[in-house]
Amino acid sequence: PRVGLLLLAPAAPPWPCNMGNQQSAQPVAIPDTRAADEALIRNIDAEWVKTVAGKDAQQSSAYYADDGVLMAPGAPLASGKAEIQKTWAGMLATPGFALSFAPTKVTVSRSGDLAYEVGDYEMTTNDKKGKPQTVKAKYVEVWGKQADGKWKALGDAPTPTH
């Protein structure tokens, strides 16, 4: 007697696998808001400069996210709202303190939730004899769009770069 080996290959069912009214999932297009977000961040910077000129530490630190960081020149790393506000209070209380800054470049991610800016700042403080000393340098700021849609600073890093 011959013994035969029968191999069965899986066959495709005679009906379509996509049953019912299921629609194929199409990726949702994310609107490109980069230009509008860049303009908004530039406006926030302009407001922030005015706030700093008012010497209000609480308002000056309100531009940061709750988990933001500030790397102020000559100060320890300030992490979180309370430390950032304390750092701003110290800077604003410095005799002769004045600060202005403006972005030269703002780049917003395509996803619209992160941005960074590079800019110029000018900071003036009085020396030990009371004479104003001005430092002109650069900074990098990282922004994050919060759940409420507002942009807040995640990382603020002035540098001594000219």
Per-residue model confidence as pLDDT tens digits over 104-157: 999 999 999 999 999 999 999 999 999 999 999 999 999 999 999 999 999 999
Please tell me the pTM assigned to this model.
0.81
Residue 58: how many CB atoms within 10 A of its CB?
Answer: 11
Tokens 């001594």, residue located: 160
pLDDT band at 2 (very low <50, low <70, confident <90, very high): very low
HSE (side-chain half, CA atoms, 13 Å) at 141:
28
pLDDT at 26: 76
Asked whether 67 and 82 are in contact (CB, 8 A), the reply is no
Q: Calculate mean pLDDT across residues 79-88.
A: 97
Distance CA 141, CA 152 (A): 10
Residue 24 has pLDDT above 80, yes or no: no
Q: Calculate mean pLDDT across residues 42-51.
A: 98
pLDDT tens digits, 95-106: 999 999 999 999
Asked whether 69 and 156 are in contact (CB, 8 A), the reply is yes
Residue 41 in 3-state DSSP? helix
Residue 48 in 3-state DSSP? helix
pLDDT at 5: 41
Asked whether 87 and 78 are in contact (CB, 8 A), the reply is yes
Instruction: Give, in degrees to the nearest 5, the angle at Cα 141 between 82 and 143.
Output: 75
Instruction: Give, in degrees to the nearest 5, the angle at Cα 81 between 75 and 86.
Output: 40
Residue 62: how many CB atoms within 10 A of its CB?
Answer: 16
